[in-house]
A = this chain, B = another copy of it.
Amino acid sequence: MNKKELIEQIQLKKSFLCVGLDTDIKKIPKHLLELEDPIFEFNRQIIDATHDLCVAYKPNLAFYESLGYKGLISLEKTVKYIPQNCFTIADAKRGDIGNTSAMYARTFFEYYNFDSVTVAPYMGEDSVKPFLDFKDKWVILLALTSNEGAKDFQQCKVIDVRGISTEKMFETVIETSMKWGDDDNMMYVVGATKAESLTKIRKIIPDHFLLVPGIGAQGGSLDDVWKFGHNDDCGLLVNASRNIIYASAGEDFAEKAREEAMKLQQGMKILLES
């Protein structure tokens, strides 16, 4: 999916919601466990209940990998089941030397046919570039994450290799990496718990989409993310995982997930029309 198509979906659905499929075999409703593929069945029902309210789905690879090859089969079926008009994100946080990153890119873009993959920046340009060689596919690079540990390195004051001082490591990451691609093939992860930093980030990259996790279970505010982070194209994909997919542990889990997704979508509709 390219940028124009993504923006069209946001306008059509009045939503910039991404539903995180952090599907945990220990948390899904018990009645699904008797089925042949409980993880896929859970995802299928979540997707059926939410696909008109969200513009993206983000399976978190860790949850599928923890079940070994069977989890990967569930993932494969899930990605195929997601409607064509939804943007897909492999939340995998990969990044390695060039020939290995190229292999990861083929995995997520060719084998699974995801639209995008989250990538960790620590190993630099040649670890990210192989992901940018695919038409209408995206790198979503970690910039400022939503977790407590973001302070350890991302918030360090930095003088980069050109001798240019920026306030923080995550700004150096954005300023350096934005030259590797453009706003048609790169997005950045910026946590909702760091909404005040969005103003600074928007000065560096006014046109890029941002993937914003941290709404809900992690405590971020949708209104703040919009206030500091949106641009003329909307420019935001706001992710919610646990508070949608685990809204109920009973047989009504999909219905309750829809209710939670709708609350967020209704809030987004107001912001988009404001």
Residues of A within 8 A of B (CB): 22, 24, 60, 62-63, 65-70, 72-73, 76, 91, 93-98, 100-101, 103-104, 106-107, 111-112, 120-128, 142, 145-161, 169, 172-173, 176, 218
Contact = CB atoms under 8 A, between A and B. Distances in A.
What is the interface of chain A mostly: helix, strand, loop, or mixed?
mixed
Nearest to A128: B149
| Highest count of chain B CB atoms <10 Å: which of A22, A101, A124, A173 | A124
Contact of A76 (B68, B97, B142): B68
Given A68-B111, A69-B70, 17 more contacts: A62-B94, A66-B103, A66-B107, A91-B96, A93-B120, A95-B120, A120-B122, A122-B153, A123-B147, A123-B149, A124-B147, A153-B173, A156-B158, A156-B159, A156-B160, A156-B169, A169-B169
B172 A156 contact: yes
Nearest to A157: B159
